[in-house]
Amino acid sequence: MNKKSAYARAGVDINLGNQVKETLPALLASTRRPEVMGAVGGFGGLFALNLRKHKEPVLVSSVDGVGTKLKVAFGCDKHDTIGQDLVNHCVNDIAVLGAEPLFFLDYLGTGTLKPHVFEEIVRGFAVGCAENGCALIGGETAQMPGFYQKGEYDVSGTIVGVVDKSRMLNGQRDIKPGDTLIGLGASGLHTNGYSLARKILFDQMKLTPRRRVKELGCTVGEELLKTHVSYWPLLKTLLKKFNPTPGKRAIRGLAHITGGGFIDNIPRILPPKCDAVIRRGTWDMLPIYELLQREGKVDEVEMYQVFNMSIGMVAVVASDQAATILKSIRAKKQPAWIIGEIAKGTGVTRLA
């Protein structure tokens, strides 16, 4: 009988940690790009940037987590989509600049390391990275007994991408009054607004993750764990087609609708004297938002500041190309609608 080490008795099992990490090379192999150097397990991930692809390469980075959506994963004991959520969220954050994702690093902190949970989370990272053409080149797993509630963990991720300086999207320079807003459909809440959604659904309505709600057409847990959509594969094609040269930019700007919703995110790309006018009722609203607003008695303006309201990405495009761009988006089976326009103003989002 093997005697437990003092560290293992204190709650940190190094041998278990090494054991679960044995599955990593196979998972990471599916995300490998030609630029990746070295083997898994080094002190740093290695990536040799191909400078020949870009005249003036600009590295674009972002870091994020998935917030209290994790609480739903704990309640459902379902962890295989959380990794995809995190990767896709980070990919979208740099996609708004036109940046190609190059590599991703993850952080997982937990009290007690459970092998099946670890494997599900990392498999999600690998799936997300592979679908976005992004290499998963490293990460950190920390066992911290006494720091997290039993059965809980936290995850975060860092992404690095690249875009040629001349092709970088700069809405504040290119957006002008008369431009059209196209909204790309979301799968659900994505990774934001979960603290309010959980309070309404679980505390006020007394629902459980496994409770089926006819209005939603699924269980509460299934609705809340729908995977955050990655728009990069689509945007990559659109940018190549509609922004063929630095001087021809039919796509003027992109806004990822995350925490802060329409109200806080679209102004991040607006020139100081332009407003984004959002015309409510111009797109198909998912049932979850109507349920949350009605049962939570949430003010409508607040709904548009907390949630994505069924739109995960907003593209600001030249009005004379809007119909063609919309047709191209829908041809890729991505739900999309013309949801408003740019008007003279003070750099804010207006609901109409």
pLDDT (mean) for 126-133: 94
Of 294, 291, 289, the C-alpha closest to 308 is 289
Domains, the chain, in order of start with CATH, read 6-167 (3.30.1330.10), 171-351 (3.90.650.10)
pLDDT (mean) for 139-163: 91
Tell me, what's the pLDDT at 33? 84
pLDDT (mean) for 180-207: 97
Of 101, 103, 119, 118, the C-alpha closest to 32 is 103
Tokens describing residue 250: 């039919």
> CA 268, 304, 87: angle at the middle one, nearest 5?
60
pLDDT tens digits, 57-114: 999 999 999 999 999 999 999 999 999 999 999 999 999 999 999 999 999 999 887 8
Phi-psi region of 91 (alpha: psi -120 to 50; beta: other; left: phi over 0): alpha
pTM: 0.92
Whole-number Å distance between alpha carbons of 192 and 87: 14
Scanning the structure block, which residue is given the tokens 């109409």?
A: 352
Helix (H) or strand (E) holding 143: strand 135-143
Whole-number Å distance between alpha carbons of 50 and 310: 37
Q: Tell me, what DSSP letter sits at residue 248?
A: B
pLDDT tens digits, 296-345: 999 999 999 999 999 999 999 999 999 999 999 999 999 999 999 999 99
| CA dihedral of residues 255, 169, 321, 184 (deg, nearest 10) | -20
Tokens describing residue 304: 């548009």
User: CB under 8 Å to 302, separation ≥6 — which residues?
Assistant: none
Confidence of residue 146 (pLDDT cuts 50, 70, 90): confident
Whole-number Å distance between alpha carbons of 161 and 103: 7
Confidence of residue 36 (pLDDT cuts 50, 70, 90): confident
Strands 36-37 and 251-256: unpaired
Task: Inform me whether the pLDDT recorded for 19 exceeds 80.
Answer: no
Task: Inform me whether the pLDDT recorded for 198 exceeds 90.
Answer: yes
Residue 193 exposed, middle or buried by CB count within 10 Å (0-12, 13-18, 19+): buried
